[in-house]
Amino acid sequence: MKICLLSYRGNPYCGGQGIYLMYLARELAKLGHEVHAIVGPPYPFPVEGVTYHYVSNHNYFNIKDFVKPHKPFATFNPLNFYEFAASKLGIFPEIESFSFRAYSKLRQLLKTHSFDVIHDNQCLGYGFLLIKQFGIPCISTIHHPLTIDRSTWFEYPSSFFLKTKRILYYPLVMQKYVANTMDLIVTVSHDSAQEIYNAFGVPLEKQRVVYNGMDSSIFNPVKLPKRHNSLIFVGNVEDRKKGVIYLLKALTLTRHKVYLTIVDGGAPNRNYVPRWIDKFNLNEQITFTGKIPLDKLVQLYAQTQIALCPSLYEGFGFPAAEAMACELPVIASTGGALPEVVGQHMKTGILVPPRDPYALAEAIDFLIENPDIRNRIGKAARQRVLKTFTWENAARQMVNVYQEAIDAYR
Amino acid sequence: MPRAKIYGYIAVIVATLMGLVFVYYAFIHYDMYSSVHFSSIDTGAYWAVVLPIALVTLFVLATCFWVGYTILTIKVAPPMPEIVEKKDNSKFKAFLLCLVTIALAVWFVYGLYHHSYLAIAIPAACITLVILGMIFWVGIAIITTRSTLKKDK
């Protein structure tokens, strides 16, 4: 099968979508399929068997000095100028502009290649309306609808101006429209499928659930001494749906003095959570690592007693699965798909209601006081990940979805 | 001076001059009471000119209304009491935004119906000045950016 994957950000360090692209492409190639990927910056690392085709953008939304010395007039290119203007008006145009650039790149590629299926990775830009005209089945993975991100932002106190910015930021109208034109939608959990139906109106019959995998060759238990009363949280602390504020509050409620390590690649530039750490007087209990390599993360998991996922919502929850693969007991909220990933309460993890710092504190104390249960849950968690979440399974199921889309097209 | 900077200066000067010329001829020089009124223009010609401006204006107003309406009606879980620092008055502001956009839309449509000069000139000025402002911004960015790479790059 000749597969063309599209991802507006390709690098695995830029979030779940980069990880998804890297592993899915690698496993599809291993299964013997011809895999091409059209990717936007930050670009992915080379993967054996995958041919990458790069499209650029100027990242006007995030970069202040947007004029490149070697291309000073690039902003006057019509698509770039649209991207620039939209960014300055508070709209996030990267997704939409990527879709148009991907269309141009595909048109060029189709002169020398033929693809059986085009698989978009949560872009859903208007450019897909043009891509559909190529007559190739188009499917899209939606990890979770962005309506969730918007509503979780609104749960936190903020000004009218910030709320306005958030509404303009998320391209929900476009994604809703484009999602309904796709041949099939793939999502990563049953909870996410329901949310996609609620937010975008995509019928459940048009959606297929393919669980993400977990690289258990990287994430595995390492024998290192555990630090006393140690906790770990992995994720972007500024992302309101991660529920970090509730975690901080929980740390003020635990009977035992616990020490939390926060692994957040963007940590030096964060300001919201550090302000609350000061207010809750938790400075001596919390350490930020900043961006660290994967081997260091695995080492940290090995040295820590409990992993925490207090998210208000997760479409899947890679950090929970990673910690579980490292035999770490996870305390997760029941937000979104976390129960699907973590599994049975008290067997493969501990589940608490989201937005409940008291329940979270109680669960932390319980696991601190019961090392045997910690070990038992950690071991069971790894077994669950090895059995349920492998990229090979994900790729095989994805091929079935591709075949279904191709058969329906004929 | 590097060539890129010259073009940057040109973009800034052209955007500024065009903006000034537009404002001068649209609002200062033009005597909207004694000059030929829009009502004397052929209906087809009038709508050919007005329709694109009307569509953009109504789109912008609809977007503003949608922002206000979303803030006003979105249902979310209440925040943890400990993190509420001051009273949230965003719903009141959102309500005002909805009212203002409705009022502007009504005024705009009424103005179009009566071939009012200002109903066209003000949105046209806004659209033109925003675009020229963006060109000005890019021009300034080109002028203030290093036009050559550092030696170690």
Q: Which residues pair with A186 in a beta bridge?
A: A141, A208
- Partner residue opposite B90 with nearest CB, options A69, A152, A159: A159
Reported as half-sphere exposure (CB side, CA atoms, 13 A), residue B99 has a value of 6
Q: What is the CA radius of gyration of chain B?
A: 22
A284 and B CB contact within 8 Å? no
Give the number of beta-carbon pairs within 8 Å between A and B. Answer: 80
Does this complex have an ipTM over 0.95?
no
Grouping H, G, I as helix, E, B as strand and the rest as coil, residue A196 is: helix
Q: How many domains does chain B have?
A: 1
Q: Which residues pair with A120 in a beta bridge?
A: A6, A140
pLDDT digits (tens, 9 = 90+) for A65-123: 777 777 777 888 889 889 999 998 889 999 999 999 999 999 999 999 999 999 999 99
B10 and A CB contact within 8 Å? no
Which residues, 6+ apart, have CB-to-CB distance to A247 below 8 Å?
A233, A260, A308, A310, A357, A360
| Listed residue (B151, B152, B65) closest to B108, CA to CA | B65
Best A68, A70, A75 residue to mutate vs chain B (most B CBs within 10 Å): A75
Q: From the DSSP assignment, how many helices (H) and strands (E) are in chain A?
A: 16, 13
Cβ(A103)–Cβ(A131) below 8 Å:
yes
Range of the domain at B100: 3-75+87-144
Q: Decide if B56 is inside a domain.
A: yes
- Partner residue opposite A157 with nearest CB, options B74, B79, B138: B79
Provide the shortest C-alpha distance from residue B29 to chain A (in Å).
30
Tokens of A378: 């950690």
Q: In a structure prediction context, what are the per-residue pLDDT tens digits for chain B, which is 153 residues long?
A: 777 788 889 989 999 999 999 998 888 887 766 655 667 778 888 888 899 999 999 999 999 999 999 999 999 888 888 888 788 889 999 999 999 999 999 999 999 888 888 888 999 999 999 999 999 998 998 888 765 555 554
C-alpha triplet B138, B142, B143: angle, nearest 5°: 120
Measured between alpha carbons, how far is A338 from A242 in angstroms, rounded to an integer? 12
| Listed residue (A183, A196, A226, A190) closest to A210, CA to CA | A190
Listing DSSP states for chain B in one string gives --HHHHHHHHHHHHHHHHHHHHHIIIIIS--TTTS--GGGS-HHHHHHHHHHHHHHHHHHHHHHHHHHHHHHH---PPPPGGG--S---HHHHHHHHHHHHHHHHHHHHHHHHTT-HHHHHHHHHHHHHHHHHHHHHHHHHHHHS-SS--TT-
Question: Distance from CA of residue A239 to its chain's centroid?
Answer: 11
Tokens of A337: 């798909």
- Partner residue opposite A155 with nearest CB, options B79, B82, B145: B79
A77 and B CB contact within 8 Å? no
Neighbours of B153 (CB within 10 A): 7
Q: Decide if B81 is inside a domain.
A: no
Measured between alpha carbons, how far is A93 from A87 in angstroms, rounded to an integer? 6
Q: What is residue A222's predicted lDDT score, i.e. its pLDDT?
A: 92
Domains of chain A: 2-213+390-409 (3.40.50.2000), 230-388 (3.40.50.2000)
Answer yes or no: do A158 and B90 touch at CB < 8 A: yes
Tallying the residues shown for chain A, one arrives at 410
Which residues, 6+ apart, have CB-to-CB distance to A178 below 8 Å?
A124, A125, A126, A128, A129, A140
Q: Decide if B150 is inside a domain.
A: no
Measured between alpha carbons, how far is A144 from A101 in angstroms, rounded to an integer? 24
Best B64, B89, B90 residue to mutate vs chain A (most A CBs within 10 Å): B90
Q: Judge residue A278's burial from the number of C-beta atoms within 10 Å of its C-beta, 0-12 exposed, 13-18 middle, 19 or more buried.
A: exposed
Q: Decide if B91 is inside a domain.
A: yes
Q: What is residue A213's predicted lDDT score, i.e. its pLDDT?
A: 93
Q: Decide if B149 is inside a domain.
A: no
Q: Decide if B61 is inside a domain.
A: yes
Cβ(A246)–Cβ(B80) below 8 Å:
yes
Cβ(A245)–Cβ(B80) below 8 Å:
yes
Reported as half-sphere exposure (CB side, CA atoms, 13 A), residue B10 has a value of 8
Q: Give CA separation, A260 vs A247, A250, A294, B111, in Å.
A: 10, 11, 19, 62
Measured between alpha carbons, how far is A1 from A175 in angstroms, rounded to an integer? 27
Provide the shortest C-alpha distance from residue A158 to chain B (in Å).
7
Q: In a structure prediction context, what are the per-residue pLDDT tens digits for chain A, which is 410 residues long?
A: 999 999 998 887 777 788 899 999 999 999 999 999 999 988 888 889 999 999 988 888 877 777 777 777 788 888 988 999 999 888 999 999 999 999 999 999 999 999 999 999 999 999 999 999 999 999 999 999 999 999 998 988 888 999 999 999 999 999 999 999 999 999 999 999 999 999 999 999 999 999 999 988 899 999 999 999 999 999 989 888 999 999 999 999 999 999 999 998 877 677 788 888 999 999 999 999 988 998 999 999 999 999 999 999 999 999 999 999 999 999 999 999 999 999 999 999 999 999 999 999 999 999 999 999 999 999 999 999 999 999 999 999 999 999 999 999 87
Answer yes or no: do A155 and B83 touch at CB < 8 A: no
Q: Decide if B37 is inside a domain.
A: yes
Q: What is residue B153's predicted lDDT score, i.e. its pLDDT?
A: 47
User: What is the identity of the amino acid at A86?
Assistant: A
Q: Cα torsion for A371, A375, A377, A383, to the nearest 10°?
A: 180
pTM score: 0.87
Measured between alpha carbons, how far is A189 from A69 in angstroms, rounded to an integer? 45
Answer yes or no: do B83 and A245 touch at CB < 8 A: yes
Q: Decide if B152 is inside a domain.
A: no
Answer yes or no: do B7 and A88 touch at CB < 8 A: no
